[in-house]
Amino acid sequence: MKKSPQHQFAICLHADEEDMLTPRRIYEVLPDESAAKSNYLRVIDDEGEDYLYPADNFVLVEFAPNVEHALLEAA
């Protein structure tokens, strides 16, 4: 049986565009190897759209599976 990919989350430390991101809020991060090579993260922002933001604006965090599930259900 194939394991589903892990979800990744990040906490916003500061926002250049405060109408799109909220400091101290948890965001879902989508995999994007090309963006990562340029030090960016693809994040689902406050408008529900995925967009590239500087990785320095975030800290990646890991949660227990039940917390990840709750975060994804709340989205």
Percentage of the chain exceeding pLDDT 70? 92
pTM to 2 decimal places: 0.85
**Separation between Cα atoms, residue 74 and residue 55, nearest integer Å:** 24
pLDDT at 4 over 90: no
Rounded distance, CA 38 to CA 16, Å? 17
What number is the average pLDDT over the span 14-40? 92
First to last CA, the chain: 27
CB 58 within 8 A of CB 13: yes
Average pLDDT, integer, range 21-32: 96
